[in-house]
Homo-oligomer: A and B are copies of this chain.
Amino acid sequence: MSREATINTKTVAKNALLEAGMRVMIEKGYSNTGIQEVLDATNVPKGSFYYYFDSKEDFALQIIDYFDRAGEEFMSKFLDNKNVSPLERLKLYCQEKKKMLESDHCRKGCLIGNLSQEMSDQSEVLRARLEEVLTKYRNRLARCIKEGQEKGEINSALDHIQLAEFFQSGMHGAVMRAKTTKTSAPLQSFFDIIFGQILKA
């Protein structure tokens, strides 16, 4: 095999492990995710896991990065869409989140939220990375909220960062509750209040 083909095979194998790991970890959490289970879900030869990852913690860190690339794209698609107003962007973003949760039958939720809850006290390395990602997402939401405030369509009485923080953590709480009730009603109820009472100009 040429050097390029080898690099390509390695990238494919690594991505397969990240994809499978992400799928298992989002549903079962970090502690409950077995490396063997992840390997079984891929065609990657057993025993090669530690060729790609230093440890399970390193695997989780790289899963977070892998998830984050898709997360960034997802946020960009909705929050940077200049064809619609900032408030409308936020609404469409929320509708899509709800649709995704429903298509998962209110299972799984958000990888970043789940790992934050589970791992913030267990691994300083994961906590720090999760905080970084959450802050980045919050800042994206804040930017959109600020644009809406400048256009006069979002309540300007509150700081855009504080609003975004509230929006983000409220959504995580509502997703958590939706997972427990196995209905998306808590998410809808959250949207009704956040748009009807808080963001409303």
Chain A, 145-176, contact with B by CB distance < 8 Å: what is the 0/1 string? 00000000000001000110110111111101
Residue A62 lies at the interface, judged by CB distance under 8 Å to chain B: no
Interface residue range, chain A: 35 or more
Q: Is the CB–CB distance between A174 and B173 below 8 Å?
A: yes
Q: Is the CB–CB distance between A122 and B173 below 8 Å?
A: no
Chain A, 49-76, contact with B by CB distance < 8 Å: what is the 0/1 string? 0000000000000000000000000000
Contact of A169 among B113, B168, B186 (CB under 8 A): B186
Number of copies: 2
**Set of chain B residues within 8 Å of A9, measured between Cβ atoms:** none
Q: Is the CB–CB distance between A180 and B27 below 8 Å?
A: no
Contact of A117 among B114, B165, B197 (CB under 8 A): B114
In the complex, 30 of the A-B residue pairs with CB atoms within 8 angstroms, ordered by the A residue number, are: A27-B121, A28-B122, A29-B31, A31-B31, A107-B120, A107-B121, A113-B176, A116-B176, A117-B117, A117-B176, A117-B179, A118-B118, A121-B179, A127-B180, A127-B182, A131-B180, A134-B177, A158-B193, A166-B189, A166-B190, A168-B173, A169-B186, A171-B173, A172-B172, A172-B177, A173-B174, A176-B176, A193-B198, A197-B198, A198-B198
